[in-house]
Structure 1
């Protein structure tokens, strides 16, 4: 990444078609397709259109209006419901009412990659880096990137991110916390301990590396903190 910024793209239609064919060949009759926000990627619409070519497979499309681990948490919830023996209708109904129950906030270490990827202008990036501004980004109700706060310095930015997660959780008692990082594991593990202290009622904390398809736009050092409300 120091010398070249890779490009990202949605899966080719032929690839999606082959996956559909394999699902049917394996004997499945119902499919739950959970994707990142349609406001950030054409993946949702591409799968939706291809699904129409396979009427023998009852397909439920779920647009998470979210990104990264915030979107992935919905897939985890669906898998848990399947394990618990929930019906297709029960699972799809649960998902349909859960879009706003998962939230992720990303703290960006540098504005360089947002500028290189065309997300912000060069002047804004130079000025922001000079002032050591660290934006905190989430997805709004339309599933589009939205800057919720700006802090000067890494430490204040991460503290603010923790406070945003705590505010989102509120008084909810059945909660799953989410921590993702882009080559910043030591910081991520420190924040796991902070979240445990600030939100002690959490059932569990999921920690993982951020997908390259996301970190390519934000650069190494990205930290994502969030929560999924389960009650």
Structure 2
């Protein structure tokens, strides 16, 4: 009989409630300051990272390979026969390759390592839907076939307060960032098929960017029933405003407020980020 483990990382922005409900194994990214290193969402909160920005902007790194080895050793001891791992986009991190290598060292567990090609709740929604399939008793092979199909039904868009943090983290072209700030152009950022950030649209000013992200969501929701997820990085009031507007739309089956994003995402997106994820329902 199959015993399937589900693995992801802290950038999926899953709530403790969801993690505990489905028994999801979560690998922690690292937040690195000049004098100390922290485990993401274990030793430090996103709010603390934002408060510390005025003193130091930290860097981040993927979970340690030893953490991955330790997790697989634990799964073997607990009798797991299969593992499904859904990771942060390879366009943003090396965790996918790290888990692939780890899985190859543990032949007793048949593994499926999947690149979400997304981040935050764009990744997290996929993990949660996969968890539901495991709970329903679907087989490993059935779930492996279903995951890419779920991925096609997920849309994610976000805005940031400033492009400076994406520039510093090497997540966006320096020229695009400089021009954007000079003209007060605010991109609506999406994630392409390769799992990299791109400008889905551009508007002028913060207010227009918030209006535009709502209009994009409204257009998708108008075409069919959706679950909707909203999260932010030090932009709670604006996130609640967006939540209230989306709540009024028809075809919104479930609406979730994800709260503040993980510290790792906070490091690279900076304060003022606001994102929305839409899952088209079948």
Do both share a fold (TM > 0.5)?
yes
Question: Aligned-pair distance for 1:122?
Answer: 6.0
* Partner in structure 2 of residue 190 of structure 1: 241
Deviation by residue 1:194-226 (Cα, 9 ceiling, x = unmatched): 11223x212212222111111211211100012
1:205 aligns with 2:252: no
Question: Aligned-pair distance for 1:14?
Answer: 1.1
In structure 2, the gaps of 5 or more residues are 1-52
Question: Aligned-pair distance for 1:131?
Answer: 2.8
Flag the 1:79–1:124 CA change in 2: closer, same or farther, 3 A: closer
Matches within 5 A, 1:97-176: 97-120=149-172, 124-173=176-225, 175-176=226-227
Contact 1:5 1:116 in 2 (8 A): no
Question: TM (normalized to structure 1)?
Answer: 0.91
Question: Aligned-pair distance for 1:79?
Answer: 1.2
Question: Among 85, 88, 105, which residue is 1:33 paired with?
Answer: 85
Flag the 1:89–1:124 CA change in 2: closer, same or farther, 3 A: closer
Question: Aligned-pair distance for 1:123?
Answer: 6.1
CA RMSD of aligned residues (A): 1.8
Query: Whole-Å Cα distance in 2 between the matches of residues 29 and 104 of structure 1?
Result: 33
1:71 aligns with 2:123: yes
* Partner in structure 1 of residue 14 of structure 2: none
* Partner in structure 1 of residue 100 of structure 2: 48
Contact 2:221 2:251 in 1 (8 A): no
1:83 aligns with 2:135: yes
Question: Among 187, 196, 215, which residue is 2:266 paired with?
Answer: 215
Deviation by residue 1:51-91 (Cα, 9 ceiling, x = unmatched): 01111101111111111110110011011122222222222
Question: Aligned-pair distance for 1:18?
Answer: 0.4
Contact 2:172 2:197 in 1 (8 A): no
Matched pairs, number: 229
Look up the SS of the partner of 2:105 in the other structure: coil
In structure 1, the gaps of 5 or more residues are none
Greater strand content: 2
* Partner in structure 2 of residue 180 of structure 1: 231
